Structure 1
Amino acid sequence: MSHFIMLNLPTFTDPRGSLTVLEKALPFDVIRTYWIYGADGQTRGGHRHTYTRQALVALSGKVSMYMNDGVTEETIELNRPSQCLLVEPEDWHTMTFSESAVLLVMSSHPYNLNEYIDTPYERASYD
């Protein structure tokens, strides 16, 4: 079980294909939406936010999400379009993309470079 919140979105499948619904599922209003693609084998992100919350869905391919909230660190695989990972402002995150992966990102605020925190949490040392 993950420390971070993963929503399993309702999905309806029949012989014509699948339809996944994202309706009233997010704990914030979506102000900005964008998607990342063509990042085959690349790692992106490497930041956390002051106040922006995000919801991430891998529409195709696989995206490995490294998450660290200063207490818990975990790598989560997004590989189904019915999975939606919530990223809170305190969550340091990086995304590593498989070939042909497409990541949909929905944000609670517009882009503002000044609210990005580029300093990762220090890893705990166990002596």
Structure 2
Amino acid sequence: MAQLIDLKTFTDKRGNLTVIEKVVPFDIKRIFYIYGVDESKRGGHRHKQTIQAAICIQGSCRIYNNNGSSEAYFELNRPDKCLLIQPEDWHTMDQFTPDAILMVLASEYFDANDYIFEPYSAV
């Protein structure tokens, strides 16, 4: 099941510096970000192999996860929170604030064959 982790952040009078180092359990092969989202839901899939780490670096959004045996909603509203999404986690993203930027780190390069769009049956 998806898991929230805290990212190491250094804060002083000059501001904040958040580091993503040795906290994601995979080598990063792809980075993408989602922004300018209207009232739509994004996602609506799970993966065969890809692990993802989602960080809302600005604004906020909500991520729904269902791994076939449990489901949960996660609010991403701070750039020092990271949601690890396992391949079996069927997920959607919604409730984006107008200024939201959701950055996603992925363990695999894009492969259309890695996507499973069929949701699990009700939990």
TM-score, with structure 1 as normaliser: 0.92
Match of 1:58 in 2: 56
The residue number in structure 1 matching 2:47 is 49
Equivalence for 1:99:
98
1:69, 1:91 within 8 Å by CA — same for their partners in 2? yes
What residue ranges of structure 1 are gaps of 5+ in the alignment?
Answer: none
**Higher alpha-carbon deviation: 40-49 or 64-73:** 40-49
Asked if the contact 2:31–2:103 (Cα under 8 Å) also holds between the matched residues in 1, the reply is yes
Per the TM alignment, residue 42 of structure 1 is displaced from its structure 2 partner at its CA by: 2.5
TM-superposed deviation, 1:40:
3.5
Task: Using structure 2 for the length normalisation, give the TM-score.
Answer: 0.95
Uncovered stretches (5+) of structure 2, i.e. residues with no partner: none
Asked if 1:25 corresponds to 2:28, the answer is no
1:34 matched to 2:8: no
- Give the whole-Å Cα distance in 2 for the aligned partners of 1:79 and 1:50: 28
Query: Residues of 2 paired with 1:64 and 1:22: CA distance?
Result: 21
List structure 1 runs of 4+ shifted beyond 6 angstroms: none
Aligned residues: 122
Which amino acid in structure 1 is aligned with residue 7 of structure 2? L
User: 1 CA distance for matches of 2:41 and 2:16?
Assistant: 29
Per-residue CA shift, 1:90-109, capped at 9, x if unaligned? 00000012211000000000
Paired residue secondary structure (2:62): strand
Structure 1 residues 11 and 74, CA, compared in 2 at 3 Å: closer, same or farther? same
- Superposed CA deviations along residues 31-61 of structure 1, whole A, max 9, x for unmatched, are 0011111113321000000011000000011
Q: Is the 8 Å Cα contact of residues 40 and 100 (structure 1) preserved in structure 2?
A: no
- Any conservation in 1 of the 2:62–2:75 contact (CA below 8 Å)? yes
**Structure 2: distance between partners of 1:14 and 1:73:** 38
Asked whether the 8 Å contact 1:43–1:95 carries over to 2, the reply is yes
